[in-house]
Amino acid sequence: MPLTRPLKIAITCYPSVGGSGILATTLGEELAARGHEIHFISYERPFRLPYNTPRLHFHPVEINSYGLFKYPDYTLPLSVKLAETSRDYGLDIIHAHYAVPHATAALLARDMLPPDQAPKVITTLHGTDTTLLGKDPGYGPAIRHALEAADGITAVSAFLRAETQRVIGVQRPIEVIHNFFTPRTPNRTRADVRHELGVGDGDVLLFHSSNLRPLKRVDVLLDAFARVQKYAPCKLLILAGGDFSAYAAEVARLGIGERVIVRENISAIEEYIQAADLGFFTSETESFCLSILEAMSFNCPCVATKVGGIPEVNLDGETGILVPLGDTEGLVVALATLINDPVLRDRMGAAARLRAEKTFSADIIVERYLQFYYQVCAGSSRLI
């Protein structure tokens, strides 16, 4: 008989702004709402994790600085906290988002416990652990070991699964489970937010959200935005998951200071996305790009680079326009096309929202995670 009882799951992730932490936090919320007991374990509370939610718990990891170590260690304290939490609460699963340090710590925690108390370890790959760290000889072997020793592996796109197999040489099965997004109801109206941003009724507002890492190519984003003003005047809202000051000089040099609006470390992103008309993303690589899905959920077609897993989310010519990497003029043309053609923009926006709801909803994706959890747990007699 298949296991269907509620599970006790620890989730360890990066708590800061970024697609992996957002996905992990939202997944935990959705699982708790479905009756499962969820324990978040990290060095600080994930920035979107709500308080006082039934079956949702947070356990902070204390990091001490010892003179013996040149740099503070996080992996070992995390593994100890994971083992303690598993022992105290009888965890079924540790779900580690990112191979290092989270999956490595989860494996150490599993090995600290007696076999009849050891939880299953599931690792979800989000991108950088494969596309960047996997190529580093100082990390690659450890990542490969973490994946080979885990009880189950998922990746957020077919692209990332293929890259993991190519770069790291992992041959065992990797389940592709895409990201999902469930918009929260905004507390303010679209009109109120646009008024706050100084965006008029006739203005077209572009939207970009990211952690501003170099691979997001914010320099290309700003250059293309500046160049499109000649053909299609518009404004740009950047929800920055970090300090945007490093780009202030470039904004000034391009003369777009009055057209670029920046909001940093915003948790209620839905209020701002609803005010936008068009998403704009210029990454040089992406495993999925959750920000595109967030934009699509609010009727925003997206202009984006055709890289990584983005084509699995944003369908070229249907829910937006994809442009080859390095083709800045192509980005400008794509932006101008959608800015100057509101009928096309509305049609693509409607298709984008429908795709977000039909393909990347919580009902679909969370159920896939649950099926995978139960599949991985099926071999453990203590869970029956």
Residue 170 located in a structural domain: yes
Within this chain, do residues 144 and 13 fall inside the same structural domain, yes or no?
A: yes
Q: Residue 15's pLDDT is what?
A: 84
Residue 2 located in a structural domain: no
Q: Beta strands of 241-277 (E only): which ranges?
A: 260-264
Within this chain, do residues 234 and 328 fall inside the same structural domain, yes or no?
A: yes
Per the listing, tokens 């029956």 go with 384
Q: Residue 274's pLDDT is what?
A: 96
Residue 185 located in a structural domain: no
Q: Residue 259's pLDDT is what?
A: 97
Structure tokens at 129: 């652990």
Q: Residue 133's pLDDT is what?
A: 56
Residue 249 located in a structural domain: yes
| pTM of the predicted protein model | 0.91
Within this chain, do residues 17 and 156 fall inside the same structural domain, yes or no?
A: yes
Backbone phi, psi, residue 344, to 5°? -65, -40
Residue 308 located in a structural domain: yes
Give the span between the Cα atoms of 282 and 253, in whole angstroms. Answer: 20
Task: Centre a 10 Å sphere on the Cβ of residue 197 and count the other Cβ atoms it contains.
Answer: 17
Burial of 225 (0-12, 13-18, 19+ CB in 10 A): buried
Within this chain, do residues 115 and 255 fall inside the same structural domain, yes or no?
A: no
Q: Residue 1's pLDDT is what?
A: 37
Number of domains, the chain: 2
Per the listing, tokens 């800015």 go with 339
**For position 242, which CATH number holds?**
3.40.50.2000
3-state secondary structure of 44: coil
Give the span between the Cα atoms of 133 and 306, in whole angstroms. Answer: 22
Write the single-letter amino acid at 117. Answer: Q
What's the average pLDDT block by block, 10 residues per block, for the chain (384 residues)?
80 81 93 97 89 95 75 88 97 93 94 95 86 64 88 96 90 94 92 96 95 94 98 97 94 98 89 97 95 97 98 98 98 98 98 97 96 87 39
Q: Residue 382's pLDDT is what?
A: 41
Give the span between the Cα atoms of 86 and 77, in whole angstroms. Answer: 14
The residue range of the domain holding 20 is: 8-180+361-383
**Residue 217: left if φ>0, alpha if ψ -120 to 50, beta else—which one?**
left
- Could you give the angle at the alpha carbon of 164 between the alpha carbons of 162 and 170, nearest 5°? 105
Q: What is the side-by-side order of every strand in the sheet holding 278-281?
A: 260-264, 235-240, 205-210, 278-281, 302-305, 320-323
Task: Centre a 10 Å sphere on the Cβ of residue 203 and count the other Cβ atoms it contains.
Answer: 14
Give the span between the Cα atoms of 380 and 384, in whole angstroms. Answer: 7
Within this chain, do residues 117 and 17 fall inside the same structural domain, yes or no?
A: yes
Q: Which residues contact 48 (CB under 8 A, 6 or more apart)?
A: 21, 22, 25, 26, 267
Q: Residue 132's pLDDT is what?
A: 59
Residue 36 located in a structural domain: yes
CB 10 within 8 A of CB 342: no
Within this chain, do residues 72 and 199 fall inside the same structural domain, yes or no?
A: no
Q: What is the side-by-side order of every strand in the sheet holding 120-125?
A: 56-60, 37-42, 8-12, 93-97, 120-125, 152-155, 175-176
Within this chain, do residues 214 and 241 fall inside the same structural domain, yes or no?
A: yes
Q: Are strands 152-155 and 175-176 parallel, antiparallel or unpaired?
A: parallel
Instruction: Dump pLDDT digits (tens) for 89-119.
Output: 999 999 999 888 899 999 999 999 999 999 9
Within this chain, do residues 367 and 354 fall inside the same structural domain, yes or no?
A: no
Structure tokens at 116: 């009849």
Task: Centre a 10 Å sphere on the Cβ of residue 14 and count the other Cβ atoms it contains.
Answer: 21
CB 36 within 8 A of CB 9: yes
Residue 110 located in a structural domain: yes
Q: Residue 64's pLDDT is what?
A: 78
Within this chain, do residues 346 and 369 fall inside the same structural domain, yes or no?
A: no
Cα distances (Å, whole numbers) of residue 35 to 30, 127, 180: 9, 30, 19
Q: Residue 21's pLDDT is what?
A: 83
Q: Residue 381's pLDDT is what?
A: 38
CB 52 within 8 A of CB 2: no
Within this chain, do residues 201 and 154 fall inside the same structural domain, yes or no?
A: no
Q: Which of 115, 114, 94 is nearest to 105 (CA)?
A: 94
Instruction: Dump pLDDT digits (tens) for 56-75.
Output: 999 999 987 766 666 678 89
Within this chain, do residues 215 and 114 fall inside the same structural domain, yes or no?
A: no
Within this chain, do residues 155 and 243 fall inside the same structural domain, yes or no?
A: no
Residue 1 located in a structural domain: no
CB 285 within 8 A of CB 217: no
